Structure 1
Amino acid sequence: MTKRFEEAMRMMRHRDPQMQEDGFGVLEPHAAEHLDELIEAFREEQDRGLRAWLFELIAAARDSKALPLLVQHLVDDDLRGYAVHGLVVLDTKEARTALYRDRANGED
């Protein structure tokens, strides 16, 4: 894990809401650089709120490595919006196909 990622995660777990926001802000512009770390942290995290933030950062990375995770969470009520957004901004053939299938199945 990189020092930036470790520090941002420490901040995001802090009790102070502003510190949490600041930690998110540290990672947001660098989400693509930390995608593997974000995915690993997302899979291990138990806190629902932090998982949502991690997933939001994964979607913001705009990297096709995130495609399977984004598609998997199209059915997750808590993360669906981030999954849809992530697929829209990814804008690959595979992402568009996943969104088309999702809509065809009666979702948004």
Structure 2
Amino acid sequence: MTDTFRAAMRLMRKRDPQGQEDGFHTLLPVASDVLPQLVEEYRAEPDPGLRRWLLELIGEARSTDALPILAQELGSEDESIRDWARRGLEKLDTKEARTLLWQDGQNRND
């Protein structure tokens, strides 16, 4: 899996849009299997567009291990990052995720 992950990340970093899509779609069905690597890449990634894609993949993993990073990014200054964090928590659909979403909604309404 590590070689597949590295190859997919190389594709996602290319300037070729089709290559980027190919890399994303390589990781999509295995996101839960490579969640620790996705989180690591997300934290180290400086490119905002790639960070958004990585957070989308983290949310697609539907793993409780993603809860801390998704919760953290609910407070991001980047609206797109906040949106992907919300979507990830919605997909996770645990009591903790729902509580975080409710609290976030309350904070935005204040």
- Judge same fold: TM > 0.5, yes or no: yes
Unaligned runs of 5+ in 1: none
Once residues 99 and 8 of structure 1 are traced to their aligned partners in structure 2, the CA distance between those partners, rounded to angstroms, is: 31
Identity of aligned residues (%): 53
Matching of residue 80 in structure 1 with residue 86 in structure 2: no
TM-score after normalising by structure 2: 0.92
Once residues 7 and 53 of structure 1 are traced to their aligned partners in structure 2, the CA distance between those partners, rounded to angstroms, is: 16
Q: Residue deviations 1:71-100, cap 9 Å, x none?
A: 111122231111111111101111011011
Once residues 84 and 6 of structure 2 are traced to their aligned partners in structure 1, the CA distance between those partners, rounded to angstroms, is: 23
Q: Equivalent residues in 2 for 1:26-65 (5 A)? A: 26-65=26-65
Instruction: Give the letter for the 2:97 counterpart.
Output: A
Instruction: Give the letter for the 2:95 counterpart.
Output: K
Q: Equivalent residues in 2 for 1:9-28 (5 A)? A: 9-28=9-28
Once residues 67 and 19 of structure 2 are traced to their aligned partners in structure 1, the CA distance between those partners, rounded to angstroms, is: 30
Q: Secondary structure at the match of 2:8?
A: helix
Unaligned runs of 5+ in 2: none
Once residues 106 and 20 of structure 1 are traced to their aligned partners in structure 2, the CA distance between those partners, rounded to angstroms, is: 34
Once residues 52 and 28 of structure 2 are traced to their aligned partners in structure 1, the CA distance between those partners, rounded to angstroms, is: 13
CA shift, 1:106, in A, is 2.2
Once residues 55 and 13 of structure 1 are traced to their aligned partners in structure 2, the CA distance between those partners, rounded to angstroms, is: 15
Once residues 102 and 47 of structure 2 are traced to their aligned partners in structure 1, the CA distance between those partners, rounded to angstroms, is: 31
Give the alignment's Cα RMSD to 1 decimal: 1.2
Instruction: Give the letter for the 1:46 counterpart.
Output: P
Instruction: Give the letter for the 2:22 counterpart.
Output: D
TM-score after normalising by structure 1: 0.94
